[in-house]
Amino acid sequence: MIARQYAKVIIDLVNDGVDKPFDYLLPPELLGKIQIGSRVIVPFRSGKMKAFVVSLVDKTSLENVKEVLKLDSSPAHLSEEQVSLSYWVSRYFFTRWIEVIRLCLPPGGGKVKPRYEEIILPLQPDSFLLEESNRIKGRAPRQSAILEHIAKSMEGITWDKLRKEAGVSRQSLTTLVKKGFLRIEKSPLIRRPWQKKMLRMDKQPKLVFTGQQEKAWQDILKGFEGPQKHFLMHGITGSGKTELYFRAAEKVLGQGKTVLILIPEIALTPVLISQFRGRFAGQFALLHSSLSPGERYDMWWKVKKGEARIVLGARSAVFAPLENIGLIVIDEEHENAYKQEDSPRYHARDVAWQRAIYHGALLLMGSATPSLDSYQKVQQGKLGLIEISERVEGRLLPSVQIVDMRREFRQKNRSIFSRALFSAIEETLKDGDQLILFLNRRGFAGFQLCRVCGHVMRCPNCSVSLTYHTSPEHLQCHICGYRKEATHTCPECHSPYLRSFGLGTQKVEKEMAALFPGVKIIRMDSDATSSKGAHYRMWKAFNDRKAQVLIGTQMVAKGLDFPGVTLVGVVAADITLHLPDFRAGERTFQLLAQVAGRAGRGEKKGRVLIQTYTPWHYSIKRAASHDYQGFIAEEAGRRKSLAYPPFAEMLLFCCSSKDGERAAHCAGELKKRLGTGLPNDGGKFVLSEPFPAPLQKREGYFRYHVVYKGDDLHRFADDIRAIVWDFRGKLHEDVRLTVDFNPLMML
Number of separate helices (H) and strands (E) present in the chain: 21, 31
108 lies in some domain: no
The 10s digit of each residue's pLDDT in 623-658 is 999 999 999 999 999 999 888 899 999 999 999 999
How far the first Cα of the chain sits from its last, in Å, is: 62
Assigned domain for 206 exists: no
d(CA 540, CA 96): 42
pLDDT(719) > 80: yes
Please check whether residue 699 lies inside any domain of the structure.
Answer: yes
Residue 260 and residue 173 share a domain:
no
Instruction: Check whether residue 78 and residue 132 sit in a common domain.
Output: no
* pLDDT at site 286: 86
Q: How many CA atoms lie within 13 A of 691 on its CB side?
A: 11
Q: Is 327 a member of any domain?
A: yes
Q: pLDDT-based confidence at 284, cuts 50/70/90? A: confident
Q: What is the pLDDT of residue 641?
A: 87
The CA–CA distances, whole Å, from 104 to 49, 343, 686 equal 19, 15, 35
Burial (0-12, 13-18, 19+ Cβ within 10 Å), 128: middle
Domain extent for 464:
446-501
Same structural domain, 283 and 383: yes
Evaluate if residue 269 carries a pLDDT over 70: no
C-alpha 556/C-alpha 593 separation (Å) is 12
Q: How many residues does the chain have?
A: 747
pLDDT given at position 200: 47
**Which of 184-188, 512-516, 677-681, 697-701 is the most confident on average?**
512-516
Q: Is the pLDDT of residue 443 over 50?
A: no
Residue 568 located in a structural domain: yes
527 and 632 share a domain?
A: yes
Any idea which of 194-198, 228-232, 271-275, 323-327 has the lowest mean pLDDT? 194-198
pLDDT at 113: 78
CATH number at residue 15: 3.40.1440.60
pLDDT digits (tens, 9 = 90+) for 538-551: 888 888 999 999 99
pLDDT of residue 479: 60
Collapsing DSSP to helix, strand or coil, 149 comes out as helix
pLDDT over 70 (residue 729) = yes
> Please, are residues 256 and 324 in contact by the beta-carbon 8 Å criterion?
yes
457: helix, coil or strand? coil
One-letter identity of residue 707: V
Residue 480 has pLDDT above 80, yes or no: no
Distance CA 522, CA 529 (A): 11
pLDDT at res. 198 = 44
pLDDT of 202 above 50: no
Find out whether 742 and 712 touch, Cβ atoms under 8 Å. no
Number of domains the chain is built from:
6
Same domain, 299 and 371: yes
Question: Does residue 372 sit in the same domain as residue 346?
Answer: yes
**How far is the C-alpha of 747 from the C-alpha of 745, rounded, in Å?**
6
For residue 704, give the amino acid letter.
Answer: Y
**What ranges make up the beta strands (E) of 440-509?**
447-450, 467-469, 474-476, 483-485, 498-501
**109, part of any domain:** no
pLDDT the model gives residue 220: 94
In a domain, 531, yes or no: yes
Q: Are 569 and 435 found together in one domain?
A: yes
Distances (CA, A) of 699 to 41, 312, 446, 459, 463: 37, 33, 19, 9, 9
Identify the bridge partners of residue 49 per DSSP, sorted by sequence position: 42
Which H, E and C letters describe 32-79, residue by residue? CCCCCCCEEEEEECCEEEEEEEEEEECCCCCCCCCECCEECCCCCCCC
CATH code for the domain of 298: 3.40.50.300
- pLDDT > 90: percent of the chain: 48
Domain harbouring 661, CATH code: 3.30.70.600
Same domain as 149, residue 237? no
Q: How many CA atoms lie within 13 A of 147 on its CB side?
A: 27
In a domain, 198, yes or no: no
pLDDT at 604: 86
Specify whether the CB–CB gap between 22 and 11 falls below 8 A: yes
Per-residue pLDDT reduced to its tens digit, 75-134: 889 999 999 999 999 999 999 999 999 999 998 777 777 778 888 988 888 888 888 899
